Amino acid sequence: AQSVAQPEDQVNVAEGNPLTVKCTYSVSGNPYLFWYVQYPNRGLQFLLKYITGDNLVKGSYGFEAEFNKSQTSFHLKKPSALVSDSALYFCAVRDNQMNRDDKIIFGKGTRLHILP
């Protein structure tokens, strides 16, 4: 069964500093990996995805994530944090070999606080 782990409930970063939100996954085949962001009382917004190809994926709002197959990780990063980046971030995975069951499984979320 596929699963996603976000080991940190909360990450605090000073504005202007680099940020990392961690994600590890487990699938039986090869993964499709996603990052989403949620602002208060809102649905989720897509940030970026890894399907195949370059391990470094660039997404919206200056975010990027690096797929590391050996470590089964897909950490979200940004070189310089903004206060407006404060939100709840979800990592998600789908096994690309599951033809009939195309569920995407979400991690529990990491709350990112950017301190002014």
Q: Which of 62, 68, 69, 103 binds other proteins (CB under 8 A)?
A: 103
Distance CA 86, CA 82 (A): 8
Contacting range for other proteins; rule: CB under 8 A; set: 13-21, 38-46, 66-74, 77-85: 38-46
Distance CA 95, CA 116 (A): 39
Provide the minimum distance between the beta carbon of 114 and other proteins in the complex, in angstroms, as a whole number.
18
Contacts of 38 (CB under 8 A, 6+ apart): 44, 45, 87, 88, 89, 90, 109
* Site for other proteins contains 32 (CB under 8 A): yes
Instruction: With CA atoms as reference, report the closest residue to 31 among 105, 116, 85.
Output: 105
Q: Which of 11, 13, 23, 36 binds other proteins (CB under 8 A)?
A: 36
Provide the minimum distance between the beta carbon of 60 and other proteins in the complex, in angstroms, as a whole number.
11
Provide the minimum distance between the beta carbon of 47 and other proteins in the complex, in angstroms, as a whole number.
10
Distance CA 28, CA 72 (A): 12
Instruction: With CA atoms as reference, report the closest residue to 88 among 106, 104, 105.
Output: 106
Provide the minimum distance between the beta carbon of 100 and other proteins in the complex, in angstroms, as a whole number.
10
Q: Which residues bind other proteins (CB under 8 A)?
A: 32, 34, 36, 41-46, 49, 51, 90, 94, 96, 98, 102-109, 111
